[in-house]
Homo-oligomer: A and B are copies of this chain.
Amino acid sequence: MKMLVTAGEILVEIMATRVGQTFREPGPLVGPFPSGAPAIFIDQAGRLGQPCGIIAAVGEDDFGALNLDRLRASRVDVSAVAVHPGVPTGSAFVRYHEDGGRSFVFNIPHSASGRIAMTEAGRALLARADHFHVMGTALFSPAVIEVALDCVEAVKARGGTVSLDPNLRPELLDAPGMRAALEAILSRCDIFLPSGAELFLFTRARDEEGAVAELLARGVSDVVWKKGADGAVHFDAAGRTAVPGFAVEEVDPTGAGDCFGAGFVSMRLRGATPEEALRVANACGALAVTKKGPMEGTATMAEVERFLAEQGA
């Protein structure tokens, strides 16, 4: 089995429980939930049985311990998660608007996640990696961008493969060094996993066919276009494969795209066809939204198989 590694922020998430609630006055909340897009991704990979690990940093507090406990339970290698005494574990407070939108109060660059660095433990983990996944949210500071670029080069130098999920909050794209970093990673990337309009982030073309042609010409071997509840489309040199999504009752959308990506990458690392990989990825995304909490819906391979059987897929 191939070893999958990622790097980036580990957070606790605190959720407002009432739609329309604000953070300008006290109200009911629920948490802390283990969270952070790279952590959700790698937790999902671990639960699918993929050998995997994460380069990250947490504080020496209950919130760090909560996340480490969870990742260990999902069989994620946490040997390269640094624990920083006196520095808080990152956090995200989320509240839900009447119109379905979300607002956050984040503590990431000034949390332990801001201390993510290439350590000896990180090097040791990378030395065992066959694939490195870049989660765009992790590129939140010049220092962490450097770690990600470092990881990409190390894995490519060993003949490994790289995937990139831009997963960008729009305000991040204009952060210093962000666009250049994304371009550098895309140019080394084997699997590109854009969502919606992110397909056109690096292309001159504004249509599907033109954009995909540009991306394949740049050396990306798999383009996976995520379309949320509508499923996903895979493009490679051999052609186009669309697989519809599954209809489930959405309880909490957070983490669905991260789980989808982990499903797709893990299956491809096992030699699955694009169609098989998309089917598992869609199942992971669908199961993720049925549970409240960003990492609560990550499913085991057995749960994915049961779901696919129920859906007749």
Chain A interfacial positions (CB closer than 8 Å to B): 14, 22-33, 61-63, 65-66, 69, 86-88, 91, 93, 105-107, 109-111, 293
Contacts and interface: CB of A to CB of B under 8 A. Distances in A.
Given A14-B14, A14-B29, A30-B28, A23 B110 contact: no
A110 B111 contact: yes
Main secondary structure of the interface of A (DSSP, over half): mixed
Contacts of A31: 26-27, 29
Copies of this protein in the complex: 2
Nearest to A107: B88
Q: Which 10 A-B pairs have the closest CB atoms?
A: A23-B62, A88-B107, A29-B29, A26-B33, A24-B66, A61-B105, A26-B31, A110-B110, A62-B105, A24-B62
Nearest to A111: B110
Contacts of A93: 32
B26 A30 contact: yes
A87 B66 CA distance: 24
29 contacts: A14-B14, A22-B62, A23-B32, A23-B62, A23-B63, A24-B66, A24-B69, A26-B31, A26-B32, A26-B33, A27-B30, A27-B31, A28-B29, A28-B30, A29-B30, A29-B31, A61-B105, A62-B105, A63-B105, A86-B109, A86-B110, A87-B110, A88-B105, A88-B107, A88-B111, A91-B107, A107-B107, A110-B110, A110-B111
